[in-house]
Each structure stands twice: as C-alpha cells, then as structure tokens.
Structure 1
Amino acid sequence: MRRTLVAVMAMAVITPVALAACGKDDQKATAWVGTSTAPTASASADGEPVTESATVPVSLTITPAAGKTGVPVSAEIGVKVAGGKVTDVTLKDAKGTPVSGKLRDDGTSWIPAKSLSPNQKYAATVVATADNGQTTTQTTSFTTMGKPGKKTGTGLYLFDDRTYGVAMPVVVEFSPGIKKADRAAVQRRLFVSTSPAQPGVWSWTSSGTQAYYRGPEFWKPGTTIAVRVAVGGLPTGGGRYGDRDRSATAKIGRSFEMKVDNASKKMTVVQDGKTVKTMPVSLGKKGTPSSSGVMVVMEKKEATVFDTTDTDGDDGYVTDIEFAQRLTWSGQYIHSAPWSVGDQGRRNVSHGCVNVSPSNARWLFDRTLIGDPVTVKGTGDKLSYGNGWTPWDLSWSEYIKGSALPVPASLK
C-alpha cells in the first residue's frame, strides 16, 4: 500500500560551522621557524670540491590574522609551514580556558572539537619544528562574530548507541538545500571514521537537501561508525550559517538482506550470507507499481494508520496497518496485509507496498534493523534517487560523481 501520510521520524537537528576567516597577506602572522641545511659544492685552494652547508629558511604562517574580528564560530586555525611541521596548537578563550581540537589529516588546519562561542576573543599559539630540530612559536588572536540572523537547519539520521543494518548510510539533511557552489566548503566539515577502517565518500542529491556517506560495499558487521557534522556557524551560502554541531557514534549489526523478485512474487531473506527464509509477496498493481531499486529500512512501526484521503480524495483510504517498515518517503512499505494473503505469491494487488502475511510480517519485524537493505526488482517503476535513503541504488562510479570534493584515485 502507498500512503501519503509521512510518519514522523526522529531526527537530530544540527548545523554547519563557518570556515576560518583569513586576512590579507600582509596581516597574516608569519615567522621564521629556523633553518635546515642543504649541502652545496665549493672549491678548495687546490681545486678539490668541498661540501659546505647552506641555510634554507623555514617559515610558518597562521590564520585568522591577528586582530581579525567577525570570524565565524566555525573558525579553524590555518597553518602553512615550509621546511618543517606543526607539532603543537593551543587555542584558549578570553578566560584562558583551553579549547580541544586536532589537526586535519593533511595538516592544513587545526579544527576545534566544537563550535566556538559568539562574540568571544580567542588566542591561538602554534609551535612548528623545523627539519633540523629547531622550533618556533607563533601566536594570533581574533574575535568571533555574533549570532547570525539566518540559519541553515540540518538533521543527522544516526544516533548514539544504536545498532543499524549493514546498508545504513550516514544521512545529513539540510534545510534549505545547499547550492553547488557552497557544497565543497560544507563537505569539508563532515567527518566520518569507521572501526575497522573502511573507505567511504560523501555524495549529494541534486537538490542539495541531503548528503550521503557510504563505501563501495556494505559495512562490515560489527563496524563502529563515528560521525561529526561540524557545521555549527559555518557559512552555507546566501548569508546563512549552520545552526549547530552534532555528532553520533553507532554500531553496525549482523548482515540481513531482503531480496524481492516480482517475477516469482517472493522475498528471499539472507542473513550472514545464508538464505534463512523465503515468503510470498504481493507488490503494487499496474496502476500503482512498486519501485524497483536498492532501498533500506528507514522506520519501523508496530502499528500505524495509512490515510490517503488528503491526496487521493474519494479514491483514498484509511487503514490500520501492523508491522510496517518504511522504504521510501513517498510511502512504500513492507507490512502485514491479511486481506491479500490469497494473492501473495500469485498476483500484485497493493498500492505500491510489499504485502506479506501477518505471520511473515511479524517474523521480519522482529529481526530487522533500521538500515537493513531491501532490493526490489522486476517491477514497472524505477526508484527515484532521493526518495528514501537511496545511495545504494547507484553504482559506485555513478555515486561518487555526487561528491563536491575530489575523490581519491584509490576510490575511483
């Protein structure tokens, strides 16, 4: 059955953070870090070559520029060092309280662990060590901007201490959507780590209202996923700023896949690589076909009501439904359908949902997790990208085209 009534889904509201503002070149804090030596050839009195040491300057530049005001609260401490590396960064507020954070993997900046406070003065100290062991310390201070008037709201569909299916994508939602020109800056503030380590890429829907994160394959069972959407105070375009930071750490459970074939009118359930159950189904009839594609369980309701009278008028219906599992935003579900048991395995009579018997519906409901994959094939309708959590419905080569940042060659 299809219904247009969208069930309420819990969503963590978050926001993007602003990038560190930089001053003009002549305002940047620059210091010689020390010197490194490189051999250079010269000649002795008898004409024999002699190796001497030539000094090579090592420089450090940091941002925001000293005295900078109106800095977004998403500010990063930018670092540029030649001939050495940054070995320590300290950031303190006006009271001298340290702010925790860490360097980016590429070493280009230091990111506070949370958004800074508005209308506050901060002081940063950066220590760099030259290749020859010499060190230098450089400081800067800046003042953050006040609270912005316009914000971009965001939602993270991942929650602490929850267990999800192997196809659970990291889903971040933006309202209003992020325009193409602003997506790269936002994407740089979306962080995911997995244990055990697995590769992944962010990809945007065409509207910019959602960004997904997934790997080339489903997550390994037992994986821990840690996510930080560090967009609080981040400029998101159109004079808007992210509303707040949000993060979550969750687990991936066992592998549990549901595969629905219109030709056979059956669902095959595969757990940890082994077929554990098959069951007859009835899919959408000709006028309301089910969508074919790779979907995931987005929501589970043991009991709910489908009400389509607002959109379908006299053709609408109000029906009590048990063991409903949402697959799309438009209203495609797996659910108990006692009225179609005689048709299940034989013909399609639903309004687009996957009908199963009450006993099979309960069996599935008791075993599934949010994020379990559901593949439907052979129907007369193609799943629309973005109609649900749909990143797995694209091939990897197509999926990564949605990234706003260059994709590493190793992942292409």
Structure 2
Amino acid sequence: MERTVSGRTPTGRTATRRGLLAGAGLVGVAAGLAACTSDKGSGGGTGGATESPKPDPNAAAATIVTPAKDATGVSAATEIVYELKNATEATVELKDANGTVVTGELRADGSSWVPAKTLGYSMAYTLTVTATGSDGKTGTTTSGFTTMAKPSKTVRVTSFLGDNAKAGVGMPLMYKFSRAIPEAQRAEVQKRLFVSSEPVQDGIWHWFSGTEVHYRPKEYWQAGTKVNARLAIGGLDMGDGYYGKGDITLENLTIGSAVIMVADNKTKQMTVTKDGKVVKKIPISLGKPSTPSSSGTVVIIEKFVHTIFDTYAELGPELGYRTPIDYAQRLTWGGEYIHSAPWSISSQGKRNVSHGCLNMSPANAKWLFNLTSIGDPVITKGTERQLKNGNGWTHWNMTWDEYVKGSAVPFVSAVTPTPAPSESESATPDPTASATATATPSA
C-alpha cells in the first residue's frame, strides 16, 4: 500500500525498523569493559576465578530513548523513539497493564514508532524493542512507563468530510479546532496530522488560522485516489494547559473523475473536461461590469437542485431580488454560483448580464450538475475582478509555494523521484520490455 505526506498514517501493524541508526549509550553493549583475570602472575598458581565471557561488541542492540525507563506522566500521544546498533531491523511490542498489545507503525522517515490509537490515561505500559542483526541474532530491550492523568481542559477537532465520502480532484481536507492553537505549538500539532493516499501524492497542511488547518495535494488529486487521514491529537499538548480530546479519522475518501471547468470571459464559453478530454463547451453569461464575476480558481462548495436567491437583506428593497433557481452550484461565499438562467439564454455566449454568477441554459445547467462533485475545480478567466483568497475554497488560487508558507513544518516530498538511467543502460528502450513504477512514502 502506498502512502503519502507528513508521515505514514498508523494502520495497526507491528512495525519493523530497518537500517542502522548510530547512537551512544546503547543498551546491551558494555563498551570498554575489561576482561576478568585469573590468579596467574600473583602466586604462580593455576587455580583462581573462572574467566567471565566477554560481551560481544558486534551484537545487535537497541536503546529505548523515549519514553524514559519508568517515566510517569507520559503523554497519551507519546511516540516510541529508539536507537539501533549492529542491527538491520527491529520490532516494537507495546502492551498495556492488561497484556493487550497496542499496534502501531513507524513514521516513514524511521524517526519514531507511532501507536495506532491514543494510549489510556493513568495506565502502565511495557515496551519491548527487539533488534535483529545481519546474522539473524537478536538483542532485546524492555522498559516501562505510566501515562498522564486524564486532562480536564481539552480541545476538540471536527472534520468537514465524513467517512466513505466522494469528492472532486480539488477537494481539500478541512479541520476546525474548538480552541485556537498557539502559534508556538502548531508544529508539534501538525506533526501528528497524518494523511495517506493511494497512489502516493505530495501534499501539505496550511494553517488558515489558529482554529483551522487544511490539507491539499501539490497538484490536483489523481482521479480514483483513495485518501485516509488520522489527526492523532488525543492527549497531545495543545498549548496553555489544554490537550487534545481525542483522535479523529477520515476513512475511505474516494476522489472521482477529473472534472475541471474553465469559464472564459473573452469567449463567453465554459469548457468542461473530464479526465483530460473536452466533453462539452457551454455558452455562458458572466457578471455584468457593475457586478463582475471573480477571476481565479475555486472548487464547488455545495449543490442545490432547487433553491432561492434572496438578496433583500444584503442589497435592500430597491436593488434586492428573490428568485427561484435550479441546478445551483456555489463557488464563493460572496454568492457566485453556476446555475440555470432561462431568462438570459439570448445573452449566453454573447454578453454578460448576471450579478456575478455563471448563467447557462436549463439543459446545460442540468447536464453539468449531474456531472460534477463537491470539490471539482472551476477556473474563471478575464473578468474585471480578481478572486479574493478566502472567498470560497480558494486553496488552488494560491501557488504551491504560497500554500507551503502556511505550514508550521518544512515540506518533505513523499514521492521518490525516478532515477536517471545509468550510462550503461541503453538510450533506446526495449519495446518488448514491461516496466513498473513505485513510490516510497517519506515523512
């Protein structure tokens, strides 16, 4: 299974750590110990103490770094950090006081082992790390710790999406905290926000405020992608004496076909593509000069087969209107929609007469409504007004570099680059050969 972004989502497997990590003070290695001596040379006798076996300096060994041995008050969101010596891999076993095994998984960069769920409060745990050397021999280290008491001040987190949802290729993952996370604490919180996708795609979190953090991939999601997320904040220090109330997960978000709409003010046409192929060009009427449509990239926020546009409260009795609308698809919080407009058919494809919406015929509006999903991108070009970030889901109105600036931790690619051919490889590919490509996730 391929996975992506800021660490692998813990999935419930007992993890194996591979590779040699250098470390000092490793358990199981008694460096610099002198060999025991016999009585030879002190009296000429042949008797005396039996020589003790020397510790093997090449034996596989592990040192548990975090949590410290017999530590108390350990965070229920703790991660297991250990170091290896003379080892090619290691296994981690964590058990609670009842002997129940807690599953978990290594971060993709191997920096720590993450339990698959929040640990219990005021509970004792036994931790065993077994290192395996290249010769197959093992070295085992055991430790124990007790977790913190249940906190009284907690922060809840809520998700816009639910399990088994379906969305368009531009859909962001959006989460809200019940209390603002202090800026100094956001990096530690963000490190516990895991997203995985199949296939693996780069992406990052962006803090829009202390209470909102959103995730988007570097490019639009690939059609058919499966996305899972775990915000592992249960028991996590959220700053100012507050702790995460509990983990929240998103399971089996399915990304649909790549439906992308481009509305061009110059041609008064909307070009609709599906999976890279143009499937329709629709005549439209955009916002007139006094109420122009916004140029920029948004995604569809919500959809209504039937609704009523009521602007009396906003515009007053002289300019306001109340109109039934069919096949409405919201683009901005400011009130711009794609919708059916039978009253402007004669202007569609020719001139702009709307209050900022993208008007189209009832037949075209129904056809498009049945094609699209929440999260499908809509790009409007060439109007008198530029889209303001925050007026809708404007994640794609920012460049990737701009989006990365909103992260509290540096971006690290999850996608392994394809290696360049070596000089010994033929420059001409073999047409009969088959090829596969794989990507390895990283933190």
TM-score by length of 2: 0.73
Inter-CA distance 77–310: structure 2 relative to 1 (3 Å threshold): farther
Partner of 2:431: none
Distance 2:122 2:314 in 1: 48
What is the aligned length? 366
Contact 2:29 2:57 in 1 (8 A): no
Inter-CA distance 99–54: structure 2 relative to 1 (3 Å threshold): closer
Match of 2:408, SS state, is coil
> Does 2:163 align with 1:163?
no
Match of 2:355, SS state, is coil
> Does 2:296 align with 1:301?
no
Distance 1:290 1:84 in 2: 62
Partner of 1:220: 222
> Does 2:346 align with 1:356?
no
What's the CA shift for 1:393? 1.5
Partner of 2:197: 194
Determine which structure has the larger strand proportion and give its number: 1
Partner of 1:262: 265
Distance 1:306 1:69 in 2: 59
> Does 2:282 align with 1:253?
no
Match of 1:276, SS state, is strand
Match of 2:184, SS state, is helix
Inter-CA distance 180–120: structure 2 relative to 1 (3 Å threshold): same
> Bigger CA drift: 394-403 or 78-87?
78-87
Partner of 1:235: 237
What's the CA shift for 1:337? 2.3
Partner of 2:399: 395
Distance 1:284 1:362 in 2: 20
Distance 1:386 1:209 in 2: 15
- Unpaired runs of 5+ residues, structure 2, are 1-24, 32-54, 418-443
Distance 2:261 2:378 in 1: 5
Inter-CA distance 331–138: structure 2 relative to 1 (3 Å threshold): farther
Q: Percent identity?
A: 47
Contact 1:33 1:129 in 2 (8 A): no
Partner of 1:4: none
Equivalent residues in 2 for 1:73-152, closer than 5 Å = 73-84=76-87, 87-129=90-132, 133-151=137-155
Distance 1:335 1:318 in 2: 15
> Bigger CA drift: 59-68 or 323-332?
59-68
Of the two structures, which has the highest relative contact order with CA contacts closer than 8 Å and spacing of 6 or more?
1
Inter-CA distance 56–293: structure 2 relative to 1 (3 Å threshold): same
Q: 1:33 aligns with which of 25, 28, 34?
A: 28
Inter-CA distance 124–407: structure 2 relative to 1 (3 Å threshold): same
Equivalent residues in 2 for 1:308-347, closer than 5 Å = 308-314=311-317, 315-347=319-351
What's the CA shift for 1:329? 3.1
* C-alpha RMSD of matched pairs (Å): 3.0
Distance 1:240 1:308 in 2: 42
Contact 2:259 2:274 in 1 (8 A): yes
> Does 2:383 align with 1:372?
no
What's the CA shift for 1:343? 3.0
Match of 1:366, SS state, is helix
- Unpaired runs of 5+ residues, structure 1, are 1-29, 37-52
Equivalent residues in 2 for 1:284-299, closer than 5 Å = 284-299=287-302
What's the CA shift for 1:196? 2.1
TM-score by length of 1: 0.79
Partner of 1:22: none
1:45-83 deviations in whole A, cap 9, x for unaligned? xxxxxxxx9947955133223444443332222324455
Inter-CA distance 330–108: structure 2 relative to 1 (3 Å threshold): same
Match of 1:402, SS state, is coil
Partner of 2:437: none
Inter-CA distance 224–307: structure 2 relative to 1 (3 Å threshold): same
Distance 2:333 2:179 in 1: 18
Larger Rg: 2
What's the CA shift for 1:318? 3.3
What's the CA shift for 1:261? 0.9
Contact 1:309 1:316 in 2 (8 A): yes
